Chain A
Amino acid sequence: MIAKPTIPDLLDQSPDRPGAQIGKPVSRVDGRLKVTGAAKYAAEFNTPGLVHGYILSSAVARGRILRMDTARALALPGVLQVFTHENRPSLPWFDRRWKDDDAPKGSPFRPLYDATIHHALQPIALVVAESFELARYAARLIHVEYEADPHQTDLQAASAAAFTPGKDKGGFEPPPKPRGDADRALAEAEVSVDLEFTQAVEHHNPMEMHASTVVYHNDGTLTVHDKTQGPLNTQTYVCNVFGLPKEAVRVISPFVGGAFGSGLRPQHQLFMAMLAATTLKRSVRVELSRPQMFSFGHRPETLQRVALGARKDGTLTAIIHEAVQETSQTENYVEVVVNWSGQQYKCDNVRLDYKLARMDTHTPLDQRAPGAATGVPALEIAMDELAARLGMDPLELRLRNYTEIDPNTGKPFSSKELRACFRQGAERFGWSRRNPVPRSMRQGRQLIGWGMATGVWDAMQGQASARARLGIDGTLTVGSATADIGPGTYTAMTQIAADVLGLPLDKVSFQLGDSNLPMAPLQGGSWTVSSVGSAVKAVCDRLRERLAKLATGLNDGPLKGLKAGDLDFAGGFLVARSDPSWRLSITEVMRANDLLVLEEEALSVPYYKAQMQHKAGTHSAVFAEVRVDEDLGTVQVTRVVSAVAAGRIINPKTARSQVMGAVVWGLGMALEEETMTDQRLGRFMNHDFAEYHIPVNADVHDIDVIFVEEHDEVVNPLGAKGVGEIGIVGVPAAIANAIYHATGKRICDLPITADKILEG
């Protein structure tokens, strides 16, 4: 049954209303499992007879395998098999059998398909052995001869052949057509800036390395524990690739040790574990090593140009944003990089251009706030430079060009409390005390700088289903085949369900990460609360309606004759709003109707019509303070204030953590994270945690998160927009701008490492 998409469905938002659970800063419901080590991740399902796979990766970036000698590996006692392109079983030929829910246009990568090497670290063999150590040892005994072809891994060079992609991926919108004449307006502008940017490759590097445990049952069915952001995506992929019916494959992934996009597509360890399990008829685990975590998708390297023209009063007259991004030879990975520049500010002359360049790398992959985290910082650094040239406060410049409609589409925003973000963020940070002159603050050899920037992300909703089962004892179980990669989905969904039915949290449990549960989309893009949360609300609304009907229909009951709208649900009771002493417990209602359980399932569908008429987004204002060591060029981010407008916040405690964590991501992007290519070999050279730097505890100081009040009746029945991405978007620019303020140096190449600060 489809839930009715009516708008005035919005719940009263006060966290003080009877039975309220939404809006309360409760601790994670799965917290105990995580702090005791009881939460099980993909590589932690141990089963009798489990064998281990170890992947051998290609030593060349492009070419083909001439010969592989696996004899020495196979001769070892305990080595069961070495799978290569030469002995693999038959695999599907059509691309569509290899597609997944996040696949862009093109041919998905097929492990062990043939002798061709497409990119460095490509998996070329799987050793399966009785122990992990033995498989690893045996993999090193495989002798491979390659014919290496010349490779292209230099984006500057590859960009000469850049092309304009189409609508090549779900969720991707090509740039809008130009408005006015931006190039002429730029040439004629009273004040202008024209900057070029580079964004380095970044790897997701969740703490849990990608792993899959495939449990082989005697009847030939399989249980797959996979590191995934969507158990149904995993199920569909393995069924299509291995020609299995859905009934034969159940995916169970209750916990995911971070992903940030890396689990949006099935990665090759899943294929390998499935290949071995179905061929050997054994339970198999394959876990990537940390260096192999650099062998699949990444945030693409990007070259950008942002040029802005303005009148002396700060009114923008021209915006040009051009980007060239890498993709692989086989797929068109696209993300929205430049469109934000047409959406953020009022301006009559706008030209946006987005191109792809093919390189011999693995296809890039969505990474936290894909596109926005790359494109918005370029715009926001350019805005800061414009403010400097105008002699204007950067915050004032943004307010001068503020827009209440989306200039790209002409549609109003469903809600946009960005002004409140600016105001509250600036006040908390103390922005009004800023001396605009660069290098105006110092303490000894430490230069201190303050910078700010704006962040933006889309508020999206997809279709999702949920199932609910209410027992006569007042316990409620709700489930949907979504994931919880860390945001707190278990907790938020438990709160939504408890809120609708007025139950204490300990009476409600939420299930996810299981392909037997009702349909949910991939967890990504900040849309899980919006999509799955709406389904949870819908199915619980339905239970609420049924209970209300049952209670008001009881002839000798205290609620007889009342309407559903006359009742509150609180503390496990149905309570007359007019006189709270008239009430019935859920148990009483069900017993009087001879019911032991009530079950419902509901599909939630977005408010397509209302959503089509609006632009829906989350917004933020980020303020940062840095200390730059003048002698060493080191940067410390001592304070960050992030004020976020994201609609209704289901759980302020976990939402704060999400934004805080995203600020840490922004810090990494601004200062540390960079996967470097050895162009001679065409391979990433810093592929471990010693050389690929992510922020550590000592890098992170005060982070202050503000959620401004924002009401939205368009985005979904909850009015909640999601906060997974918005936290990162404004941060790299706020830090870069603070570094400018501290040092007087405008650095447009991220990450801003010490050498760049000392150089200019």
Chain B
Amino acid sequence: MSQPTGSASLGHAQQQPAPPPPDLVEVTLTINGSPKTLHVAPWTSLLDALRLQLDLTGTKKGCDHGQCGACTVLVDGRRINSCLTLAVMQEGRAVTTIEGLARGDALHPMQEAFVEHDAFQCGYCTPGQICSAVGMLEEGRATTDDDIRELMSGNLCRCGAYPNIVAAIRQVMDAQATDAKGTDAKATNKAGGPS
């Protein structure tokens, strides 16, 4: 038997005009090293502000719900899902996106490692993976491949490039460890250690 159904949630409020869209708010952020002043609605996510207002489309929208990690950026060096924060909440903070990782023509070591290890196919989750990997190494919690897998599991890759992603991150992690050792050794020498 057929029965009419309605969107009950709206109920009698139907007759009332809806609240108007919110006014724009001025926000100043440091984006990839440069200060930017934006006029955004309070309901605009950092992700949409980046993609639509700043034309920084390297940061991807994969779900808009914090479930896939494609929108990962670094805020004051920490990795966050830019779809889960509003642009107005980041006033005064430093945001690094995928576009801000390379130094001129020189790719960031993580970007180079991703190319070398073929750590992507379609490339859509890639900026988020790379920003997340850079942030993860900064956290200093990963020592094994299993750690990398666990700490990178917030970044989905539908092409299934995971083993190559782990290999790429491993390479950068090992290179950083070697560099750190070299720096430590130098420091020890300077301090007048055994020579």
User: Taking beta carbons and an 8 Å cutoff, which residues of A are in contact with B?
Assistant: 27-28, 30-41, 43-44, 46, 59-60, 63, 66, 69, 72-73, 75-78, 131-134, 137-138, 141, 143-150, 205-209, 255-260, 287, 289-290, 485-488, 653-654, 656-658, 660-665, 688-690, 694-698, 700-703
B20 touches A77 (CB 8 A): yes
> B5 at the A/B interface (Cβ < 8 Å)?
yes
B111 touches A36 (CB 8 A): yes
A46-B52, A131-B21, A258-B158 provided; 19 other pairs, C-beta below 8 A? A32-B107, A35-B112, A35-B127, A36-B101, A37-B58, A59-B5, A59-B7, A131-B41, A144-B6, A147-B2, A207-B68, A208-B122, A290-B65, A661-B159, A689-B62, A695-B162, A696-B153, A697-B152, A698-B146
A207 touches B41 (CB 8 A): no
User: A35-B114, A689-B67, A697-B162 are known contacts. Are A257 and B122 too (CB-CB below 8 A)?
Assistant: yes
Residues of B within 8 A of A207 (CB): 60, 62, 68, 70, 122, 124-125, 156-159
A37 touches B97 (CB 8 A): yes
Bitwise interface map of B from 83 to 94 toward A, beta carbon under 8 Å scored 1, else 0: 000000000000
B156 touches A34 (CB 8 A): no
A46 touches B55 (CB 8 A): yes
State the Cβ distance, B95 to closest chain A Cβ, in Å.
13
Rank and list the top 3 A-B pairs by shortest CB-CB distance, nearest first. A37-B58, A664-B160, A257-B124
User: A287-B61, A688-B65, A690-B65 are known contacts. Are A697 and B166 too (CB-CB below 8 A)?
Assistant: yes
CA distance A485 to B158 in the complex (A): 12
A702 touches B126 (CB 8 A): no
B3 touches A148 (CB 8 A): yes
10 A-B pairs within 8 Å (CB atoms) are namely A35-B126, A36-B99, A37-B59, A41-B57, A43-B61, A44-B57, A69-B14, A132-B48, A696-B154, A697-B166
State the Cβ distance, B100 to closest chain A Cβ, in Å.
9
A141 touches B18 (CB 8 A): yes
A206 touches B122 (CB 8 A): yes
Which of A37, A40, A137, A206 has the largest count of B CB atoms less than 10 A from its CB? Answer: A37
B101-129 residues at the A interface, CB under 8 angstroms: 101-102, 107, 111-112, 114-116, 118, 120-127
CA distance A137 to B62 in the complex (A): 20
CA distance A232 to B179 in the complex (A): 51
Which residue of the partner chain, among B58, B64, B65, B160, contacts A700 with CB atoms under 8 Å? B160
State the Cβ distance, A433 to closest chain B Cβ, in Å.
24
Which residue of the partner chain, among B14, B115, B161, B162, contacts A35 with CB atoms under 8 Å? B115
A40 touches B57 (CB 8 A): yes
Which of B20, B43, B61, B127 has the largest count of A CB atoms less than 10 A from its CB? Answer: B61
> Which residue on A lies nearest to B43, using beta carbons?
A133
Residues of A within 8 A of B17 (CB): 72, 75
Bitwise interface map of B from 135 to 155 toward A, beta carbon under 8 Å scored 1, else 0: 000000000001011101111
B116 touches A206 (CB 8 A): no
B102 touches A486 (CB 8 A): no
Residues of B within 8 A of A703 (CB): 163
State the Cβ distance, A669 to closest chain B Cβ, in Å.
12
How many residues on the B side are at the interface (Cβ–Cβ under 8 A)? Answer: 73
> B171 at the A/B interface (Cβ < 8 Å)?
no
Residues of B within 8 A of A31 (CB): 114-115, 118, 120
> Which residue on B lies nearest to A69, using beta carbons?
B14
Residues of B within 8 A of A486 (CB): 121-123, 159
B115 touches A32 (CB 8 A): yes
> B51 at the A/B interface (Cβ < 8 Å)?
yes
Residues of A within 8 A of B31 (CB): none
State the Cβ distance, B19 to closest chain A Cβ, in Å.
9
Bitwise interface map of B from 20 to 41 toward A, beta carbon under 8 Å scored 1, else 0: 1100000000000000000001
In the complex, number of A-B residue pairs with CB atoms less than 8 Å apart: 226
State the Cβ distance, B67 to closest chain A Cβ, in Å.
4
CA distance A654 to B155 in the complex (A): 21
User: A75-B18, A145-B5 are known contacts. Are A694 and B162 too (CB-CB below 8 A)?
Assistant: no
B97 touches A66 (CB 8 A): no
State the Cβ distance, B167 to closest chain A Cβ, in Å.
11
A148 touches B115 (CB 8 A): no
A44 touches B14 (CB 8 A): no
B5 touches A46 (CB 8 A): no
B158 touches A260 (CB 8 A): yes
Main secondary structure of the interface of B (DSSP, over half): loop
> B63 at the A/B interface (Cβ < 8 Å)?
yes
CA distance A527 to B159 in the complex (A): 18
A34 touches B126 (CB 8 A): yes
State the Cβ distance, B25 to closest chain A Cβ, in Å.
13
> Which residue on A lies nearest to B13, using beta carbons?
A72
Which residue of the partner chain, among B56, B159, B160, contacts A37 with CB atoms under 8 Å? B56
CA distance A259 to B123 in the complex (A): 12
A208 touches B130 (CB 8 A): no
Residues of B within 8 A of A144 (CB): 6-7
Residues of A within 8 A of B20 (CB): 76-77
CA distance A34 to B128 in the complex (A): 11
> Which residue on B lies nearest to A290, using beta carbons?
B63
A697 touches B158 (CB 8 A): no
Residues of A within 8 A of B52 (CB): 46, 132
CA distance A73 to B21 in the complex (A): 11
Which of B21, B43, B118, B120 has the largest count of A CB atoms less than 10 A from its CB? Answer: B118
User: A290-B65, A700-B160 are known contacts. Are A27 and B115 too (CB-CB below 8 A)?
Assistant: yes
User: A36-B58, A36-B111 are known contacts. Are A694 and B158 too (CB-CB below 8 A)?
Assistant: yes
Residues of B within 8 A of A76 (CB): 18, 20-21
CA distance A387 to B130 in the complex (A): 46
CA distance A485 to B121 in the complex (A): 8
> B194 at the A/B interface (Cβ < 8 Å)?
no
CA distance A131 to B166 in the complex (A): 38
B115 touches A137 (CB 8 A): no
CA distance A40 to B57 in the complex (A): 7
B158 touches A137 (CB 8 A): no
A695 touches B6 (CB 8 A): no
Residues of B within 8 A of A69 (CB): 14
> B46 at the A/B interface (Cβ < 8 Å)?
no
CA distance A43 to B71 in the complex (A): 14
B162 touches A664 (CB 8 A): yes
Residues of A within 8 A of B14 (CB): 69, 72, 143
CA distance A661 to B14 in the complex (A): 49
> Which residue on B lies nearest to A60, using beta carbons?
B5
Residues of A within 8 A of B122 (CB): 206-208, 255-259, 485-486
> Which residue on B lies nearest to A704, using beta carbons?
B163
> Which residue on B lies nearest to A25, using beta carbons?
B118
CA distance A149 to B4 in the complex (A): 9
> B74 at the A/B interface (Cβ < 8 Å)?
no
> B191 at the A/B interface (Cβ < 8 Å)?
no
A145 touches B4 (CB 8 A): yes
CA distance A36 to B44 in the complex (A): 24
> B173 at the A/B interface (Cβ < 8 Å)?
no
> B172 at the A/B interface (Cβ < 8 Å)?
no
CA distance A37 to B124 in the complex (A): 9
> B165 at the A/B interface (Cβ < 8 Å)?
yes
State the Cβ distance, A752 to closest chain B Cβ, in Å.
19
State the Cβ distance, B74 to closest chain A Cβ, in Å.
13
Which residue of the partner chain, among A46, A131, A700, contacts B149 with CB atoms under 8 Å? A700
B59 touches A690 (CB 8 A): no
Which residue of the partner chain, among A39, A145, A656, contacts B6 with CB atoms under 8 Å? A145
B160 touches A662 (CB 8 A): yes
Which residue of the partner chain, among B48, B115, B130, contacts A133 with CB atoms under 8 Å? B48
Residues of A within 8 A of B114 (CB): 31, 35
Which of A63, A132, A209 has the largest count of B CB atoms less than 10 A from its CB? Answer: A209
CA distance A690 to B63 in the complex (A): 10
> Which residue on A lies nearest to B169, using beta carbons?
A697
Residues of B within 8 A of A487 (CB): 121
User: A36-B58, A144-B6 are known contacts. Are A660 and B163 too (CB-CB below 8 A)?
Assistant: yes
